């Protein structure tokens, strides 16, 4: 039986495929912690710099209310990034049923702060929020 010969391009392709496979099997996956917030206060959210957490706040669909991050001086805007919220129904198909607002939060700098969320109807600028929630957090440096 005659040995099979490989061209240089086949060897490069084979080596590249092996490297991709090795890198994907060695990749470290980062766990994302989900914090379900209820009431007006929350336990301390703890994340590392560069890590992500998810904050979940409940409301009722069809009421026009939505959760928004209230901008205040002490909200720790320099310590974390709060992303755009997504919503999902807790019991799909129920009109006016409970829904969850999920906000991604990422640690930017080490320190402590407070996040203030308000349940508002965006078009009612002069009406006070239906609910306020204060969420303390701590961002730890990676060491």
Whether the full predicted model's pTM is greater than 0.85, yes or no, is no
Residues in the chain with pLDDT values less than 70: 1-31, 40-41, 72-77, 143
pLDDT score of 82? 86
Q: 33-140 adopts what CATH topology?
A: Immunoglobulin-like (2.60.40)
Q: What length is written for the chain?
A: 143
pLDDT score of 121? 94
pLDDT score of 24? 38
Whole-number Å distance between alpha carbons of 29 and 42: 27
pLDDT score of 18? 43
pLDDT score of 66? 93
């Amino acid at each position: 039986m005659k040995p099979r010969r490989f061209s240089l391009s086949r060897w490069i392709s084979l080596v590249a495929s092996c490297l991709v496979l090795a890198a994907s099997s060695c990749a470290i996956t980062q766990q994302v912690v989900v914090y379900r917030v209820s009431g007006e206060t929350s336990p301390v959210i703890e994340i590392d710099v560069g890590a992500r957490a998810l904050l979940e706040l409940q409301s009722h669909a069809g009421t026009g209310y939505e959760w928004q991050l209230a901008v205040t001086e002490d909200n720790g805007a320099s310590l974390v990034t709060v992303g755009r919220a997504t919503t999902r129904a807790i019991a799909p198909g129920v009109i006016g049923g409970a829904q969850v607002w999920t906000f991604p939060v990422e640690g930017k700098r080490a320190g402590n702060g407070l996040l203030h969320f308000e349940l508002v109807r965006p078009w009612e600028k002069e009406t006070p929020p239906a609910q306020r929630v204060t969420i303390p957090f701590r961002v730890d440096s990676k060491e």
